[in-house]
Amino acid sequence: MKLTWLGHSAFRLETAKATILIDPFLTGNPSFKGLDRDAAVKGVTHVLLTHGHGDHLGDTVPIAKETGATVLANADLAAWLGKKGVEKLEAGNTGGTIDFGNFTVTFTNALHSSAFITEDGVSHALGNPNGLMLHIDDEPTTYHMGDTDIFADMALINELHAPQVGLVPVGDRFTMGGAVAALACQRYFNFETVLPIHYGTFPIIDQTPESFVTGMASGPTEVLTPKPGETVEL
């Protein structure tokens, strides 16, 4: 499995049979500036969304129209995307699992919010925020936490899914900060590998993942901190 961090919470995940974008915030993403958008969206088969905020919804609509990719989102967000012209939609909600053949996605809980504010200032409520659990044939189970704080039921998520790879928000203010994120990973999960995300994008969130890296130093989990655009193989 190839995992490319596109900055903020956006990822390109390549498996043997699917090319997946998660939270494809590309246009307007300061961390994505200077990267190749065409390369990021080439061959995309699926777009997975954790929630409806603009820095996660991102380029979903144009990407879906350009590539014909199937978009997975919570039911309210999926209905809204349908009105925006997205044709291939898979809607679900917290606790539900959607089977794509060679991989499944389960919506987990996340402690956050989910709305989209249009340029004219109108706010659209777009369902509940989620994390996404990916069980992929012959690949490590991967958990994108979305935007969230720590919560005790992370222990139950680990019991149900045993994720091996964690994509963990660490930027503080809108999500848990690095020290709390490290506590969440060490107390509730047995990750083999984690990548800190949702930092360095905007001035009001933490600019580096150092507090998370420091908090993880005493444990066995491998912490990877690629630069935006860099690919790791897992």
For residue range 162-204, what is the model confidence (pLDDT) as tens digits?
999 999 999 999 999 999 999 999 999 999 999 999 999 999 9
Q: Does residue 117 lie in a domain region?
A: yes
Q: Does residue 99 lie in a domain region?
A: yes
pLDDT, one tens digit per residue, over 43-81 is 999 999 999 999 999 999 999 999 999 999 999 999 999
Residues paired with residue 193 on neighbouring β-strands, in sequence order? 165, 222
- As for how many domains the chain has, the answer is 1
Q: Where are the beta strands (DSSP E) in the chain?
A: 2-5, 11-14, 19-22, 46-48, 70-74, 89-92, 97-99, 103-109, 115-117, 123-125, 130-136, 142-144, 165-169, 193-197, 222-223, 231-233
CATH number at residue 94: 3.60.15.10
Look up the domain containing 94 and give its range.
2-227
Mean pLDDT throughout 205-234? 97
Give yes or no for a contact between 116 and 53, defined as CB atoms under 8 angstroms apart.
Answer: yes
